[in-house]
Amino acid sequence: MDETIEILSGVRLINPLSDFDDIVDIAIDRHSVKWIRKASGSPSGLWLIPGLVDMHVHLRTPGYQDAETLETGLRAAIAGGVTSVGMMPNTTPALDSLTLTMEVAGRGNSLGLAEIEPIPCVTAGRRGEHCVDFEEFAESGITCFSDDGSPVESSTALSDAFQRIAAFNGVVIEHPEVTSLAAGGAVNLGLASTETESPGIPESAEYLDVKRCIDILRNSNNSARLHLTHLSSPESIRLAHQASLEGLRVTCDVTPHHLALNEGEVIARGPVAKMNPPLRSEESRKMLVGMVRDGMVSAVASDHAPHPACRKNLPLSSAAFGIIGLETLLPVTLSILGGEAGMYPMDIIRLLTTAPAEILSKEPPEIAPEKKLNMVLFDPEHRWTYSSTFSRSANSPFFGRKLTGKVLRVWFGRELYREGEFVFV
Ligand SMILES: [Zn+2]
């Protein structure tokens, strides 16, 4: 037999695109799957899943390379089993021109790690006033836009965006926030703001903007697409779901940390658990988990937001918002949605692969003969401590904690990662 062929025996292949979930033997060479057969021996206990699509990632380039570089961010992605990252544009300068966006994405993609899906700004400089040249981006195949870090403040600009992006099936990814209600806030308004004596951010600061965006969509071009990202309030998800039942093209995502943690985390641990939107009450967290189980949420995304220690080791009111999340995306999401919500692995993996790919209008990841290798070998039972990271930053409340489920190997075009190390064959 050709020496470059490797056989992975008795793996559970979970392939959402074909709805396939069974124990198989699979043969691969250096670049592609050769064949997939029913397992001849006993199950190995390991899963083989497509490379994850994380639609919300901050690579901090240009401008904040003290927090993350393209290389450290894309290595953290691969180590987490993420082979495709949605790159958010709140950099300095912001990614609002085709030239800059292509230059940064091109540099990242040339590293041969995870691939970048660029998500440039909706408005010039993310100032929320004048829209970018959507049509020019679309000609280069870029169809997803966001002012993430901020909402699209101007309703006129948002309306203009919806009118124009529908022509090429584009999508606006909104960071829903009424800035006047959230301004100055550090933690959830309620127990967290009382206990930490910090200014609070109410859930209404999120869901009132969700409502505004849906109203604008309905009244401008109701065939355009709106995606609401990192929702933390059950009322936001209810509004998004109601809009989709009405026939509007509205989708949404939640983060693993809003599913796994509540405001008690920021009370106990301070800035390492400070993020925007903030961790909410236990009641809201439980409702969020139930809404994912009930199919009201379209995708799970990490909102990977690296910061150096100097911007996190500060009083709660002045520390930066955000946590890293690429390397914990899969184990944390599986633990909560598989455990507490009792969801099937297939339905969870779909939220991390084909569902976000569809929102981003990209080809869905798939494990199939003659396809480019794009897959993750995962041990669902492995207990490990999250104690080192490939990110340049380490701001995660999961750091130092025991997690269940570990990425063992990752292939994207070729094998890239094996047992904690990068391999380039
Ligand atoms: Zn955001």
CATH number at residue 404: 2.30.40.10
- Domain enclosing residue 376, as ranges: 6-48+369-422
Residues by chain with Cβ below 5 Å of ion ligand 1: 148, 175
> Could you tell me the pTM of the whole model?
0.97
Predicted pLDDT of residue 55: 98
Residues 216, 303 share a domain: yes
Q: Which of 359, 388, 408 is the last residue of a domain?
A: 359
Residues 400, 351 share a domain: no
Q: Do the domain assignments include residue 1?
A: no
Predicted pLDDT of residue 425: 56
Closest CA to 74 of 62, 63, 87: 87
Predicted pLDDT of residue 269: 97
Number of domains comprising the chain: 2
Tens digit of each residue's pLDDT, the chain (425 residues): 456 899 999 999 999 999 999 999 999 999 999 999 999 999 999 999 999 999 999 999 999 999 999 999 999 999 999 999 999 999 999 999 999 999 999 999 999 999 999 999 999 999 999 999 999 999 999 999 999 999 999 999 999 999 999 999 999 999 999 999 999 999 999 999 999 999 999 999 999 999 999 999 999 988 999 999 999 999 999 999 999 999 999 999 999 999 999 999 999 999 999 999 999 999 999 999 999 999 999 999 999 999 999 999 999 999 999 999 999 999 999 999 999 999 999 999 999 999 999 999 999 999 999 889 999 999 999 999 999 999 999 999 999 999 999 999 999 999 999 999 999 75
Residues 68, 43 share a domain: no
Residues 171, 34 share a domain: no
Q: Using the mean position of ligand 1's atoms as its centre, give its distance from the Cα of residue 425 in Å.
A: 37
Predicted pLDDT of residue 221: 80
Q: Using the mean position of ligand 1's atoms as its centre, give its distance from the Cα of residue 37 in Å.
A: 43
Q: Using the mean position of ligand 1's atoms as its centre, give its distance from the Cα of residue 85 in Å.
A: 15
Q: Using the mean position of ligand 1's atoms as its centre, give its distance from the Cα of residue 230 in Å.
A: 7
Q: Using the mean position of ligand 1's atoms as its centre, give its distance from the Cα of residue 409 in Å.
A: 30
Q: Do the domain assignments include residue 102?
A: yes
Predicted pLDDT of residue 222: 82
Helices 98-109/70-79 angle, 10° precision: 60
Going across the sheet that includes 421-422, the strands are 33-38, 20-28, 6-15, 47-50, 374-385, 402-412, 415-418, 421-422
Amino acid at 354: T
Please give the positions annotated as active site: 303
Residues 188, 117 share a domain: yes
